[in-house]
Amino acid sequence: MSERWKVVIIGGGFGGLSAAQRLNSNLVDVTVIDRRNYHLFQPLLYQVATGSLSAGEVASPLRSVLSRQKNTRVWLGTVVDIDPDSKRVFLADGAIVPYDSLIVAAGSQTSYFGRNEWQEWAPGMKSVEEATAIRHKILYAFEVAERLSDPVQRRAWLTFVIVGAGPTGVELSGAIAEIARQTLKNDFRSIKPEEAQIILLDGAPRALMPFPQDLAEKATRSLAKLGVEVRCGAMVKNVDKDGLTIDSGGRTDSIAAKTVVWAGGITASPLGKIVASHAKAETDKGGRVKVKPDLTIPSYPDIYVVGDLASATDEKGKPLPGVAQVAMQGGAYAAKAILRKVKGHSELPPFRYFDKGSLAVIGRAAAVADVFGLHISGLLAWLVWAFIHVTYLVSFQSRILVFIQWAIQDLTFNRGARLITGAAPTDFNFSRELSEIKRAPVNVPR
């Protein structure tokens, strides 16, 4: 039996992996537990959803990422409970894992603000499965439209609505516009893909709220050039198989759209509430666990909560955003704090988030970036965005593959991962739609 200090990390995302990599020391035994066997680079998921990249290029097996770290083992399993008093973690398969220090980095999930039934018609984009399903949905819409002759139905199939004009919504709508206007331009006979309507909705007064106003305006203008209609101040009231109902300043409108994607918000992993209830900690309204300035839970100095699951503030009391850098820096801080404790060194000063800025890509060679307070846009911002994203991809192989894919795509406008694979996901009810199409007149090419 090892006498070394046992560190258990729940979640191999940005926060958990960053912690694990910094715990590469023969002073500790590390166990990383994740319900998936891979680390997912979520910022590029929209490229999986829009056929630029395949899933394997944005996900790396955790076991291989950590294979050289001999003090670290990876367990595939879902954590369902913890007991902070006996210091044990419980898995869904019945396994019990003891710890001396625990890092909880279980992330977040899509929030439909209490209207989970909308998920059936407006999938979110938090997993490879969802991104692949969205790709399916987008490409399928063009296929269905090609076979319809009724202009009203065809219009609904060629209308794409993205709810949420944060960076993900901006990136996704720009990419769908490029698919319609460039990638698929010559591929259909009955429809003109470039006539597709792409609408980006948000309840906020402008797109990209976390960005400075001038950059948000530039992004909105770039999206308009690509053919994306940005509608702000629009609250979604309902989503169903035929589209959405929105409220814009008291006026109710319906949008007939067969493809709706939800980029509207996130809420903490349910594990947050479980951890908080056992450790008598508080959660914020998004279900995130309120942590002390050293990222531990009050009364339990051996439990760290980092990343999207933590409700932490900066030195002025402003909540830290749910972004990859916060998670990575939080994970690194927790690892450092644990190693200092094991070595018997003094405690670290409170966690300080170092904000390197925000980036959002709009389309081919276009982006906006706020880097260290410097506002840049266009090609330069895109180069910064591309450099950062390739650098932060976990595996060297992915970096090379992604770089090659982008180069090919920029030269040819082609998107390699355009296959509609697998069965139609049940949540889209395509079979129902297809039965309607069978009854509709078929376009016979002359």
Ligand X SMILES: Cc1cc2nc3c(=O)[nH]c(=O)nc-3n(C[C@H](O)[C@H](O)[C@H](O)COP(=O)(O)OP(=O)(O)OC[C@H]3O[C@@H](n4cnc5c(N)ncnc54)[C@H](O)[C@@H]3O)c2cc1C
Using CB under 6 A, which of the segments 104-112, 153-161, 173-181, 409-417 binds ligand X?
104-112
Q: Which of 5, 7, 9, 14 binds ligand X (CB under 6 A)?
A: 14
d(CA 89, CA 98) in angstroms, rounded, equals 6
Q: Which of 45, 156, 191, 228 binds ligand X (CB under 6 A)?
A: 45
Least distance to ligand X from the beta carbon of 72, Å?
A: 15
Q: Please check whether residue 347 is in contact with residue 340, taking contact to mean a CB–CB distance below 8 angstroms.
A: yes
DSSP tag of 28 = E
d(CA 295, CA 306) in angstroms, rounded, equals 7
d(CA 431, CA 64) in angstroms, rounded, equals 39
Q: Which of 5, 7, 9, 16 binds ligand X (CB under 6 A)?
A: 16
Q: Which of 64, 69, 71, 78 binds ligand X (CB under 6 A)?
A: 78
For tokens 């944005």, name the residue.
58
Please choose, from the candidates 224, 251, 104, the residue with its C-alpha nearest in 3D space to the C-alpha of residue 165. 224
Instruction: Report which secondary-structure segment, H or E, holds 13.
Output: none
Does 57 participate in binding ligand X (rule CB under 6 A)? no
Does 246 participate in binding ligand X (rule CB under 6 A)? no
Does 10 participate in binding ligand X (rule CB under 6 A)? yes
Please choose, from the candidates 58, 66, 51, 54, the residue with its C-alpha nearest in 3D space to the C-alpha of residue 18. 66
22 vs 126 by CB, closer to ligand X: 126
Does 325 participate in binding ligand X (rule CB under 6 A)? yes
Least distance to ligand X from the beta carbon of 263, Å?
A: 7
301 vs 357 by CB, closer to ligand X: 357
Least distance to ligand X from the beta carbon of 84, Å?
A: 16
Q: Which of 307, 312, 368, 425 binds ligand X (CB under 6 A)?
A: 307
Site for ligand X in 267-306 (CB under 6 A): 269, 271
- Binding-site string for ligand X from residue 375 to residue 414, where x marks contact by CB under 6 A and - marks none: ----------------------------------------
Q: Please check whether residue 369 is in contact with residue 55, taking contact to mean a CB–CB distance below 8 angstroms.
A: no
227 φ/ψ angles, rounded to the nearest 5 degrees? 100, 20
How many residues in the shown chain lie near ligand X by CB under 6 A? 34
Q: Which of 79, 200, 228, 289 binds ligand X (CB under 6 A)?
A: 79
Q: Which residue is nearest to ligand X (CB)?
A: 13
Which DSSP string do the residues of 249-305 spell out, in sequence order? TTEEEEEE-SEEEE-S-EEE-THHHHHHHHHT--B-TTSPEE--TTSEETTEEEEEE
Q: Please check whether residue 194 is in contact with residue 71, taking contact to mean a CB–CB distance below 8 angstroms.
A: no
Residue 88 burial (CB < 10 Å; 0-12/13-18/19+)? middle
239 vs 309 by CB, closer to ligand X: 309
Q: Please check whether residue 211 is in contact with residue 358, taking contact to mean a CB–CB distance below 8 angstroms.
A: yes
- b/e per residue 403-415 (b: at least 16 CB within 10 A): eebbeebeeeeeb
What residues are annotated to the active site? 171
Least distance to ligand X from the beta carbon of 389, Å?
A: 8
Least distance to ligand X from the beta carbon of 45, Å?
A: 4
Q: Which of 303, 323, 393, 394 binds ligand X (CB under 6 A)?
A: 323
Does 308 participate in binding ligand X (rule CB under 6 A)? yes
431 φ/ψ angles, rounded to the nearest 5 degrees? -60, -35
Does 31 participate in binding ligand X (rule CB under 6 A)? no
255 vs 271 by CB, closer to ligand X: 271
d(CA 394, CA 355) in angstroms, rounded, equals 21
Q: Which of 7, 11, 207, 382 binds ligand X (CB under 6 A)?
A: 11
Q: Which of 107, 169, 174, 227 binds ligand X (CB under 6 A)?
A: 107
Least distance to ligand X from the beta carbon of 272, Å?
A: 10
Q: Please check whether residue 393 is in contact with residue 399, taking contact to mean a CB–CB distance below 8 angstroms.
A: yes
The total of other beta-carbon atoms located within 10 Å of residue 443's CB is 14
Q: Which of 7, 28, 30, 33 binds ligand X (CB under 6 A)?
A: 33
Does 181 participate in binding ligand X (rule CB under 6 A)? no
Q: Which of 199, 327, 339, 381 binds ligand X (CB under 6 A)?
A: 327
Beta strands across the sheet bearing 101-104: 72-76, 28-34, 5-10, 101-104, 300-305, 296-297
Using CB under 6 A, which of the segments 40-48, 187-195, 205-213, 335-343 binds ligand X?
40-48
Q: Which positions touch ligand X (CB under 6 A)?
A: 10-16, 33-36, 42-43, 45-46, 78-79, 105-107, 125-126, 167-168, 269, 271, 307-309, 322-325, 327
